[in-house]
């Protein structure tokens, strides 16, 4: 009947037709422009088919349909809201036309049916699902709402309360939960899916399922009393307000729209959905989160290519235990690579093992690991005080104190203990790789692997390439990171590498504004409201004032012209007064232990009096916009410099490093995406407005050229 590049119409017996999503040359199905065009043609053919008794919707891939083609969103979202509305509405007309064919339709969901994939399945009269499949509407994770009728059909299929739960969470749902919710009608073993779906279609055609009434229910307003609907929506609004990420309005927009759409028939409700979709598509959150999704795919491809020549890591080692070393050892062992953990102190070894035990206990308690499996993982971490077995390891990671002399002593001894082809890595956060490698006999085997704390939670690892690091060493480090379930991003050796270098510019902006008289607590409030998970003062308390001050000094020294010594430095003052933050109970804030054993911050009454020592002109109030610009502009400009200097290869890698490494606000998409949203011209104007504050606020010449040309960092 029809053979396209994405869809086939296959005549079956007894007047049935199979509509099979079968994207040629790819392993998945997606609803891109080609697939939509072929779906349109398929609906036209089916509408005109003689003696059609029913349609079976299937997929030839291991997934059903993973959703819309996100890469097409970038161009679509450049259009006006009106143009987006017309484009998306025309696609909805196709789905409604399929829904209105006048014959029973059954979707056989064999794998992931996400976003548009589930929305297409919802147009069918009935749905049968493999017990291994998952379904969901994850659009809010992209700053969007479903736009192919998903909000309308979900509310009419399962009721507003369940629809709200699914759409506002964006989580994929397993087969048993989908059946319990009423999203699907039957769950079967994968091998029986087609047989059961065909049987259900035949039964519907015989009148054993009231498929026509089900389709009619989706065309009518939701059958729920006004008071009950109001109550459901109001309860959801309170939950969304408390739980939704900052500056991501999609869930709130959806609730307002759904509240109105439930009272309307399908076609009007779909217009309301598409109008709301068109509005959220133009928000900063949608633009940024879509770019984040694309960036995530980009860095996965880059890492896979970088690891192509990696040596297999069967045995690992960590030198320097404690919390960080224990976290690295645990992560390696958890992912199947046995690891030796060496330290000169039994106490530190015990601390490292305790960290691994703590993480494994969490997995056992949550049911993700059995006690037997956890015990086997723990057994594959071998604590030791000597170099026994180091001649068998493929990669050893040094995680000792951030002192160059100590690292030199440890690493030169390590080089003698391991095989000549073993990779030696340093978990340094601030010292240059070339400086650390200076006394090594085999610098080509040496690389940086900067993990972020807490290691079991933080996905990013900066893989730092020294000037003498061999490509195959980088490849093996990247491969090991991937094996550990981490996200590696390769960066060039420089003071602070990428993430801490950029963060240092931000923190210096904070220190300078506090020196100029700002209230640190007000700065925290403003930056947290702007989208950061914690303000800069609170962040320093969590990191540890001594650690933060040392890292800032080391990195700043590497860019002395742009980052000269801060005369009135709040961090240095705090360290001098033994106020280290959470680690000893007082920093910018005071900390008490809550009933769950976690530190709870409170205002320290004496902090403002202490800070007066480094505020020579007293205190004054700064506007929110000025606070934001004084911290964010140097961060963005430092990110621009890092990209220009080749510290990182692409804007995608840079922005994802900031998102994964320091909790950069997701709705901004990263420093360079934020720069694109502002526009290079506006960024330069804001920087020039603060030029008197010093060279850290000076745009590069290339950025000024971009401003004049209207250029952007992302070109898609």
Q: CA 79 to CA 31: how far, in whole Å?
A: 19
Q: Please, which residues bridge with residue 642 across strands?
A: none
**End-to-end distance of the chain based on CA atoms, in angstroms?**
37
DSSP 342: E
Pick from 116, 117, 113, 127: nearest CA to 56: 127
Read off the tokens for 465.
């390439």
Task: Return the active site residues.
Answer: 450
CA 666 to chain centre: 8
Taking the CA atoms of 293, 175, 120 and 198 in sequence, report the sign of the dihedral they define.
Answer: positive
Identify the burial level of 374 via C-beta atoms within 10 angstroms of its C-beta, where 0-12 means exposed, 13-18 middle and 19 or more buried: buried
Output DSSP code: residue 612.
G
Q: How far apart are CA 94 and CA 5, in angstroms?
A: 18
Q: Is the dihedral of CA 195, 201, 207, 210 positive or negative?
A: positive
Kind and range of the H or E run holding 514: helix 499-515
Q: What angle do CA 104, 106, 108 make, to 5 degrees?
A: 170
Question: Quick check: 396 and 425 in contact, CB under 8 A?
Answer: yes
Residue 366's contacts (CB-CB under 8 Å, 6 or more residues apart) are none
Spatial separation of the C-alpha atoms in residues 16 and 20, rounded to whole Å: 13
In whole angstroms, give the CA distance from residue 541 to residue 580.
7
Count of Cβ atoms closer than 10 Å to residue 520 Cβ: 22
**Residue 448 bridge partners (DSSP):** 426, 464
């Amino acid at each position: 009947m029809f053979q396209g590049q994405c869809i086939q119409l296959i005549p079956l017996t007894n007047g049935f037709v199979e509509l099979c999503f079968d994207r040629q040359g790819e392993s998945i199905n997606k609803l891109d422009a080609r697939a939509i065009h072929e779906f349109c043609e398929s609906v036209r053919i089916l509408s005109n088919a003689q003696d059609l008794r029913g349609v079976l919707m299937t997929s030839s891939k291991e997934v059903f349909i993973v959703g819309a083609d996100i890469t097409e969103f970038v161009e679509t979202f450049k259009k006006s809201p009106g143009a987006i509305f017309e484009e998306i509405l025309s696609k909805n007309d196709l789905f409604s036309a399929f829904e209105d064919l006048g014959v029973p339709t059954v979707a056989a969901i064999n794998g992931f049916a996400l976003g548009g994939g589930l929305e297409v399945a919802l147009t069918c009269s009935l749905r049968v699902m493999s017990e291994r499949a998952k379904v969901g509407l994850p659009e809010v994770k992209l700053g969007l709402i479903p736009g192919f009728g998903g909000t309308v059909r979900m509310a009419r299929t399962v009721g507003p309360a369940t629809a709200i739960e699914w759409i506002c969470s964006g989580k994929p749902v397993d087969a048993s939960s989908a059946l319990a919710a009423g999203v699907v009608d039957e769950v079967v073993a994968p091998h029986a899916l087609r047989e059961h779906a065909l049987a259900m279609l035949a039964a519907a055609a015989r009148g054993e399922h009231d498929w026509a009434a089900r389709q009619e229910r989706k065309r009518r307003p939701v059958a729920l009393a006004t008071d009950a609907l109001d109550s459901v929506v109001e309860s959801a609004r309170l939950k969304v307000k408390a739980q939704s990420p900052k500056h991501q309005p999609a869930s709130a927009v959806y609730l307002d729209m759904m509240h109105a759409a439930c009272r309307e028939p399908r076609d009007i409700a779909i217009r309301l959905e598409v109008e709301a979709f068109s509005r959220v598509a133009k928000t900063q959150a949608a633009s940024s989160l879509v770019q984040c999704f694309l960036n995530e795919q980009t860095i996965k491809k880059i890492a896979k290519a970088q690891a192509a020549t990696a040596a297999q890591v069967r045995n690992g080692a960590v030198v320097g235990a404690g919390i960080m070393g224990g976290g690295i050892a645990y992560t390696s062992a958890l992912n199947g690579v046995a690891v030796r953990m060496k330290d000169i102190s039994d106490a530190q070894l015990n601390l490292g093992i305790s960290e691994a035990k703590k993480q494994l206990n969490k997995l056992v308690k949550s049911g993700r690991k059995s006690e037997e499996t956890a015990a086997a993982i723990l057994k594959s971490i071998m604590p030791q005080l000597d170099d026994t077995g180091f001649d068998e390891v493929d990669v050893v990671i040094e995680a000792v104190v951030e002192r160059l002399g100590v690292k030199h002593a440890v690493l030169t001894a390590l080089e003698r203990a391991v095989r000549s082809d073993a990779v030696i890595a340093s978990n340094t956060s601030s010292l240059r790789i070339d400086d650390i490698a200076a006394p090594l006999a085999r610098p080509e085997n040496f690389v940086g692997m900067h993990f972020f704390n807490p290691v079991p939670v933080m996905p990013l690892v900066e893989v730092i390439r020294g000037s003498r690091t061999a490509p195959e060493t980088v490849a093996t480090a990247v491969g090991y990171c991937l094996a550990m379930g981490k996200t590696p991003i390769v960066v060039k050796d420089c003071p602070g590498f990428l993430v801490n270098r950029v963060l240092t510019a931000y923190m210096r902006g904070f220190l300078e504004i506090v020196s100029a008289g700002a209230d640190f607590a007000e700065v925290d409030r403003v930056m947290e409201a702007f989208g950061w998970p914690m303000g800069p003062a609170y962040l320093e308390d969590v990191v540890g004032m001594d650690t933060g001050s040392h890292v800032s000094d080391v990195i700043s020294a590497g860019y002395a012209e742009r980052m000269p010594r801060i005369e009135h430095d709040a961090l240095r003052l705090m360290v001098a007064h033994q106020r280290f933050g959470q680690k000893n109970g007082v920093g910018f804030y005071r900390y008490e232990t809550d009933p769950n054993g976690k530190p709870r911050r409170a205002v320290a009454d004496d902090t403002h009096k202490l800070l007066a020592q480094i505020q020579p002109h007293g205190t004054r109030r700064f506007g929110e916009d000025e606070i934001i610009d004084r911290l964010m502009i140097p961060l963005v400009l430092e990110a621009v410099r890092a990209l220009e200097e080749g510290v990182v290869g692409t804007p995608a890698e840079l922005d994802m490093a900031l998102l994964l490494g320091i909790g950069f606000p997701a709705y901004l998409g990263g420093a360079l995406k934020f720069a694109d949203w502002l526009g290079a011209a506006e960024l330069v104007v804001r920087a020039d407005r603060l030029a008197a504050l010093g060279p850290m606020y000076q745009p590069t010449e290339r950025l000024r050229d971009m401003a004049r040309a209207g250029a952007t960092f992302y070109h898609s």
